[in-house]
Amino acid sequence: MPLPLSYSLRNLQARPGRSVMTACIIALVVVACALLLGLISSLKQTFVRSGNPMNLVVMRKGSDNDGASQLAVQAFQAIRFFDGIARDAADQPLVSPELVVQPFFRTRGGGRENVLVRGVEPVALAVHEQVRITQGRMFTPSAHEAVVGRAVLGRYAGAELGNELEFGRGRWKVVGILEAGGASFESEVWVDVRELANDAKRPYPYSGIRLRVATPADFEPLQRRIGDDPRYALEALRETDYYAKQAKSANALYVLVVGIAVLAGIGAGFGASNTMYAAVQARTAEIGTLRALGFSRGAILSAFEIEAVALSLVGFLLGAVAALALSRLLEWWLGSLAFGASTFTTNVITLHLSSADLAGACGLALTIGIGGGLGPAWRAARLRPIEALRKA
């Protein structure tokens, strides 16, 4: 015969000091785990939102990102007329030649960070359809003008509408602010590709090409034709696959989070176990009485495990509320967080906690509760009625 659920819950209320202490220990672990998981998922989402399923990224073979690739003008001129490329209303191919450089920018705090500056042509807004100019206008080619991403705005000296950015060998007037629905483009600065190539003294004016495919059926033939062309040694990746590879830069953080979670979980588990062991010691007579009344060892074990799980859920709820509040506080105080990407540039992200992040923290809390409570529950279940009453 099992013990009623109310028995386990009343025991938590009867010992508020121990219960609150254990729940707070678990809550601290939940806060750390949820915030770190939220940080990783926010970083990954930044890359995921950058890829368009109808776009291809063309780079030199062997390059794993735009910054490591170089393309000649002749390659762009040849590719832009390949069959299978989408065209705009004026019957022009949707092909965007681009150059990526990573100059240092001065932060407002006086530090220095590498920022991705992307040289583009006006057609880039049609190819990267998630990017839009929300304030000001697109830059005028050959006018030493720039548009900056929303995440860059105000973070660096001169990164404000109407001001001038200083990088490379010149000064660039900021004429527009771009947004991209949280994609990594919001951490970039866009300028005219030819001006950027001259400023950076690049013999090859392009890093890569972004192009829109006309139909899904054109993907494979177009990729194959680009890859098989012996003149330029190029390869084409789906843009979604390209950014999925860039998102792997968050895997090292994920391993770090798992390690921290395991260590914190072990510590919290020992804390929960100590509290539960103390509860078993204090309730020896009670356990003996329950056994004398005919309750089985399984019923005692289940009752103590229910207490441990209930404590872990209370700890999770406290931790989840604290984590959500802290994430809002960090967003208000810091605005955004900066991370180094695999291209050695800075990605600026906003921390958001998703339901999956909280679910992961909840799983950790339950693991702490079940694991930490198992030893004390087993000890309570193994007590013999006569010995328990004698010890009492």
What is the 3-class SS of 202-266, one letter each residue? CCCCECEEEEEECCHHHHHHHHHHHHHCCCCCEEEEEHHHHHHHHHHHHHHHHHHHHHHHHHHHH
pLDDT band at 341; cut points 50, 70, 90:
low
C-alpha span between 289 and 308 (Å, rounded): 21
Q: Does residue 238 register a pLDDT over 80?
A: yes
**For the chain, what is the largest distance between any 2 Cα atoms, rounded to a whole number of angstroms?**
94
User: Residue 249 burial (CB < 10 Å; 0-12/13-18/19+)?
Assistant: middle
- Report the pLDDT value the prediction gives residue 109, as an integer from 0 to 100: 74
State in Å, rounded, how far the first CA of the chain is from the last one. Answer: 24
Sequence letter at residue 42: S
Query: What is the band of 340 on the pLDDT scale with cuts at 50, 70, 90?
Result: low
Does the pLDDT of residue 249 top 70, yes or no?
Answer: no
Contact 206, 77 (CB under 8 A): no
Q: Which residue has the higher pLDDT, 270 or 69?
A: 69
pLDDT tens for each residue of 61-79: 888 888 788 888 999 999 9
> Which has more pLDDT, 62 or 391?
62
Q: pLDDT tens across 114-151, in order? A: 888 999 999 999 999 999 999 999 999 999 999 999 88
pLDDT-derived band of residue 251, with 50, 70 and 90 as boundaries? Answer: low
Rounded Cα distance, 97 and 194, in Å: 10
Take residue 66 and report the two structure tokens written for it: 């735009």
Predicted TM-score (pTM) of the model is 0.72
Q: What is the pLDDT of residue 338?
A: 56
Q: What is the mean pLDDT of residues 240-254?
A: 72
- For the cut 80, the answer to whether the pLDDT of residue 388 exceeds it is no
Higher pLDDT, 272 or 239: 239
Question: How far is it, in rounded angstroms, from Cα 304 to Cα 297?
Answer: 11
Residue 338, classified by CB atoms within 10 Å of its CB into exposed (0-12), middle (13-18) or buried (19+), is middle
Cα Rg of the chain, angstroms: 29
Which is nearest to 119 in space by CA: 206, 181, 42?
206
Residue 175 confidence (pLDDT) above 60: yes
